[in-house]
Amino acid sequence: MTDTTTAPADEPNQGHGPEVLYEVADHVATITLNRPHRRNAISVRMLNLLSEHFSQADTDPQVRAVILTGAGKGFCAGLDIKDAMAGSGIGGTGGGGGALQTRNLPTVILQEMDTPVIAALNGAAAGYGLDLALGADLRLIANSAQLLPGFAKRGVVPESGGTWYLPRLLGWAKAAEISYLGRDLDAAEAERIGLVNRAVPDDELLPLAREWATEIAANAPLAIQAMKRLFRHGQTEDFASHSHHVLLQTMLLFGTKDFQEGMSSFIEQRPPEFTGR
């Protein structure tokens, strides 16, 4: 989906700093799309930074949860088609799109991450931005924000995960309704159909995302990561095979210090202090 802003393709980031921001505090990594003057439309540089930061968060033992959000009034306006049309962006004649391979794409790395990800949708999520949000484990949305699945109105398909996520999240019929009609979804409707976990007043969005991320980070990180892996693998396994993998994972967790701490803190009626070991 196109970015409808009027800035020229070679416009710098207008003093906003790196196009993707990354910070870690209290075991929570916050990844912020930082191109607010373009409503965080995705440039080639942003693709590379997103891949880098998703991998960085997932391999850092100090990170136990991730918040993904956008700077300014929009979450993400989609791929920056204006740059592409100018020959300098994704799919442009300048070669910015790179080779036709997917293994290093941010959405692929996001789907394979074991660290939980919360998408805090502070504004419109269109096209690639919507697919990016669907790849998160949890989605919170500001009341003023919208989801814009208008691919059919642009003559394209959800190119970065939407065709995979929507039927799994909502069922075939609802996914077809959203995709084929291409209507905008406001926050209340997104919450009603279960596409987001919660819609909240705008000023409560990031505080709630941080609250959830902090609560997740206080739990046993090895167990959380194992749950996410099992959720992911369970989508393609039969029940018997999945039960076998769950048993193997459970036996591994029984041998961790976190399991010992979980049991000790329960018996001693105190908050656990997990180390991820």
Binned at pLDDT 50, 70 and 90, residue 13 comes out as confident
- Rg of the chain over Cα atoms, rounded to whole angstroms, equals 20
- Predicted confidence at residue 8, as pLDDT, reads 37
Which residues are within 8 A (CB) of 113 and not within 5 positions of it... i.e. 6 or more apart?
54, 57, 58, 66, 228
Binned at pLDDT 50, 70 and 90, residue 150 comes out as confident
Binned at pLDDT 50, 70 and 90, residue 7 comes out as very low
Contact between residue 273 and residue 220 where contact means Cβ atoms under 8 Å apart: no
Which residues are within 8 A (CB) of 96 and not within 5 positions of it... i.e. 6 or more apart?
44, 83, 84, 88, 89, 90
Taking only the tens place, the pLDDT of each residue in 99-142 is: 557 788 999 999 999 999 999 999 999 999 999 999 999 999 99
Contact between residue 96 and residue 45 where contact means Cβ atoms under 8 Å apart: no
Asked if residue 213 has pLDDT above 90, the reply is yes
- Predicted confidence at residue 104, as pLDDT, reads 87
Closest of 118, 122, 125, 133 to residue 203, by C-alpha = 122
Phi, psi of 155 (to 5 degrees): 80, 25
Q: Can you read off the two tokens belonging to residue 103?
A: 């293994």
Binned at pLDDT 50, 70 and 90, residue 15 comes out as low
Q: Can you read off the two tokens belonging to residue 164?
A: 């995979």
Q: What angle do CA 73, 75, 81 make, to 5 degrees?
A: 105
- Which domains, ranges and CATH numbers included, belong to the chain? 20-218 (3.90.226.10), 221-268 (1.10.12)
Contact between residue 19 and residue 72 where contact means Cβ atoms under 8 Å apart: no
